[in-house]
Structures are given as C-alpha cells and as structure tokens.
C-alpha cells in the first residue's frame, strides 16, 4: 500500500511569512496526526483528526497555526505568521483505528527553516 505522502519536502521562509504543508494519509485511515519535531527532540503532537473532525488540538498554537482536513482525507497545516522557533520538521501520520492501537504510519516530513 502507498505510504503517507507529504509535500513539500523542504521549505525556507522568512519570519512573518506564511507557509502551508500538505498531507495525504494511507487510504482508509480515519485518523490523521500532525507532529512537530524540533532538532534534537522527539516529535510532539500538534493536532489529531478523526475523519474531518478535530479530536485534540490542545498543543496547537492557535494564534498562528491552523489545520484542516476537508472531506476526511487530505490535510493541510498552515503557519501564519511564522517565527524563528517554528523551524522544525513537520510530520504527518495516520492510523487505521481511531485509537491508534494498530500503530502509526508516518510520512517523510517537511523540513521548515525560518530565517
């Protein structure tokens, strides 16, 4: 089966600019996750979708980050305006079950550099 697809792979922007990332999960996976991984740290959950509804966005900086999952398939994560500390790898993952007990499958990530 095809994996989790993410684009772009790399992005360099200036602070205060906006940026958007795209994710296409594995076909049939109802649950989609966005993670932020700062260099030298483990990934941290930003937002979790169940189909097209938000399950958990408690760690999403809502003043600048937004995400949507239209039609319960693809998802986009947006940052506006970006700050230097947003430099990180943004990982998308999906799982078949709503609980994620079947394990998570991650995409290759988008490496964002804010200068």
Tokens of 37: 């991984």
Residue 53 binds other proteins (CB under 8 A): no
Beta bridge partners of 105: 94
Q: What's 99's DSSP letter?
A: S
Nearer to other proteins, 80 or 98 (CB): 98
| Residue 106 lies near other proteins (rule: CB under 8 A) | yes
User: Cα separation of 65 and 10, whole Å?
Assistant: 18
The answer to the question of residue 43 lying near other proteins (CB under 8 A) is yes
Nearer to other proteins, 87 or 108 (CB): 108
Which position among 19, 77, 91, 112 is part of the footprint of other proteins (CB under 8 A)?
91
**Rounded CA gap, 55 and 3, in Å?**
23
25 binds other proteins (CB under 8 A): no
CA 107 to CA 115: how far, in whole Å?
25
- Which residues of this protein are in contact with other proteins, per CB under 8 A? 4, 6, 33, 40-45, 56, 89, 91, 93, 99-109, 111
């Amino acid at each position: 089966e095809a994996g989790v697809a993410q684009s772009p792979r790399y992005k360099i922007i200036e602070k205060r600019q906006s940026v958007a990332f795209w994710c296409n999960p594995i076909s049939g996976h109802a649950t989609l996750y966005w993670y932020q991984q700062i260099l030298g740290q483990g990934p941290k959950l930003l937002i979790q979708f169940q189909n097209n509804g938000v399950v958990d966005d408690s760690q999403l900086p809502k003043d600048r980050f937004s995400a949507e999952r239209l039609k319960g398939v693809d998802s986009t994560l947006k940052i506006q305006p970006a700050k230097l500390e947003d430099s990180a790898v943004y990982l998308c993952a999906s799982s078949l079950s709503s609980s994620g007990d079947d394990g998570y499958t991650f995409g290759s990530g988008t490496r964002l550099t804010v200068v």
